[in-house]
Structure 1
Amino acid sequence: MTGPTLAVEGVAKTFGAVRAVDDLSFTVRPGAVTGFLGPNGAGKTTTLRMLLGLTRPTTGRTLVGDRPYTEHERPARVVGAALEASSFHPGRTGLAHLEVFAPQVGVSRQRCRELIDFVGLGPAADRRVGGYSMGMRQRLGLATALLGDPPAIVLDEPANGLDPEGIVWLRRLLRAFADEGRTVLISSHVLTEVQHTVDDVVIIARGKLVHASSLAALADLAEPQTYVESPDQAALQRLCEARGWTAEASDRGLVVTGVVAAEVGAAAYSAGVELHQLASRGVGLEDVFLRLTGGAS
């Protein structure tokens, strides 16, 4: 299965005096999981609604493959989407919710039963959705998105409300979809929530694109961090100052930014500063995210 390329081309959207999305352009490739990232209020959901034909752009256009989403004969069989985990009739059962959508998508009731089992809601299939937890509603939303076995999947904050086991399950599922060649786009306002899932990132802030690349390329923008402890904290602090290193207190030691552990260790040895701990903390991707988005949350 090969999914369609999703494209946002010069899109802007205004609501009165508010410009929610501002000249935004990016593409989402098949065979990969793309994280659509930005602080709350950055314009992510508005953009996804425009991609799915639920909101009309003020300017620009969005494409699913070679045409807008609404121009596909059966759109839900091309892109499966879940934008709001609360948009369910509370009086319907989980299974009945899927059965309401089945005729629109063109699938059988048997498909509904298969999917509700697939997302782990089999034991709760006949319970009313009003009694579902947030995590259960997330799973039901995903089942709805998968009704038509679509080659593209768009999910808005899909990890909200999931427990750790559910998050691992979701990661594996999205990875499997991408490995099948499907196009997968997921939004989040927390980079660390999706960094173990995505291949590519599209980051926006205040409705504008601030970064688009592979996750690996984003990591290249991050600075290494090293945690170090010494019985002579004052000497360690003086060493960092002499070297021009940025160091902040953390636990019983310091976190040195922009310097790898080997360099810190060599400098401490040369200066005669005894160390009790020296460990790399890798790269600070969340710091990169906050820097790109202006620290908004």
Structure 2
Amino acid sequence: MHVSSAITVEHLTKRFGSVTAVDDLSFSVRPGAVTGFLGPNGSGKTTTLRMLLGLVEPTEGSALVGDRPYREIGRPAQLVGAALEASSFHPGRTGLGHLRTLAPQIGVPDARCHEVIELVGLAAAKSRRVGGYSMGMRQRLGLAAALLGDPSIIILDEPANGLDPQGIVWLRTLLRAFAAEGRTVLVSSHVLAEVQHTVDDVVIIGAGRLVHTSPLSGLEALAEQRVLVRTPADRAFADLAATRGWRVTTEGSSLVVHDVTAAAVGAAAFAASVELHQLSDGGVGLEEVFLRLTDQGVAA
């Protein structure tokens, strides 16, 4: 079990000339959980992570790993493992060779390189040159490098980029296992659907500002229930929806009934003798909530 440290960002601001990339941002990331750091492209996520890792100097505020700035940590790679991009590899080196160049700097034995390259599923490709790796393989190699020091804090920027569906499931399982070990896991993404089945908590920013932070259940509470319906009796169903005060929209060949349960729709249709060919739970519209928060920049 890893004894992990939290991440704390307080009133963090970064200006590049007249452009404010991050604006008075405050949030925390707890140990033992996967936190999704979410926002559209250009919202300030990567700049925030770079300040957290000491790569960019804040204009104002602080970003702490545990109780100190990253630059003040001795042997930081043994506390914090980070992968911010999947392109910073020498194309002529092999995957294993890349890790071997990092191991002495981090202070880990050569055997650890073999452990992590197997952990990320690249054992069969460890002797191939990185220049021939796919985007997904580069993502895995970046994760392997982040894990070399067996860190208790893991920070990943858009780690699902380039991964196929099987790879995304693999990544989700791995991150959940890290959190179960007590590690602090912070994962950025501009697509909520990529991480909503992985994360425990969410931090959402728009235009460099915090617009929402909560457990995932808190975001779900802002979303409405959706029920998908197909019926040959469109007029009768429309009349039923009107009497019940339901809001109905269309989605492909289905009708979408908003903010009501499938059980309620089914019971009402049965009582009114309205024939249904499809009745299914469409889940909560988390993506709609995410887009609304980030488009409007309104805190919730």
Question: The TM-score by the shorter chain falls in which range?
Answer: over 0.9
SS in 2 for 1:294: helix
Distance 1:160 1:173 in 2: 16
**Conservation of the 8 A alpha-carbon contact between 1:2 and 1:31:** no
Distance 1:64 1:262 in 2: 47
Distance 2:123 2:274 in 1: 61
Q: Given the two structures, how large is their TM-score scaled by the length of structure 2?
A: 0.95
Q: Which residue of 2 aligns with 1:6?
A: 7
Report how many aligned residue pairs link the two structures. 296
Question: How big is the shift at 1:183?
Answer: 0.4
Which residues of structure 1 form unaligned runs of 5+? none
Question: How big is the shift at 1:295?
Answer: 7.2
Opposite residue 174 of structure 2, the aligned amino acid is L
SS in 2 for 1:57: coil
Correspondences of 1:13-52 after superposition (within 5 Å): 13-52=14-53
Which residues of structure 2 form unaligned runs of 5+? none
Q: Which residue of 1 aligns with 2:231?
A: 230
Q: Which residue of 1 aligns with 2:127?
A: 126
Q: Which residue of 2 aligns with 1:96?
A: 97
Question: How big is the shift at 1:216?
Answer: 1.2
Question: How big is the shift at 1:270?
Answer: 4.1
Distance 1:227 1:153 in 2: 39
Q: Is 1:286 paired with 2:287?
A: yes
Q: Which residue of 2 aligns with 1:107?
A: 108
Question: How big is the shift at 1:253?
Answer: 3.1
Cα RMSD between the aligned structures?
A: 1.4
Seen in structure 2, the aligned counterparts of structure 1 residues 280 and 295 have a Cα distance that, compared at 3 Å, is farther
Distance 1:259 1:150 in 2: 45
Question: How big is the shift at 1:188?
Answer: 0.5
Q: Which residue of 1 aligns with 2:194?
A: 193
Q: Is 1:267 paired with 2:268?
A: yes
Question: How big is the shift at 1:267?
Answer: 3.0
Distance 2:296 2:232 in 1: 34
**Conservation of the 8 A alpha-carbon contact between 1:37 and 1:202:** yes
Q: Given the two structures, how large is their TM-score scaled by the length of structure 1?
A: 0.96
Correspondences of 1:114-193 after superposition (within 5 Å): 114-193=115-194
Cα deviation, 1:157-210, whole Å, max 9, x if unaligned, reads 111111122111111111111111000000001111111111100000100001
Cα deviation, 1:35-56, whole Å, max 9, x if unaligned, reads 0011111100000000000001
Opposite residue 158 of structure 1, the aligned amino acid is P
Identity %: 68
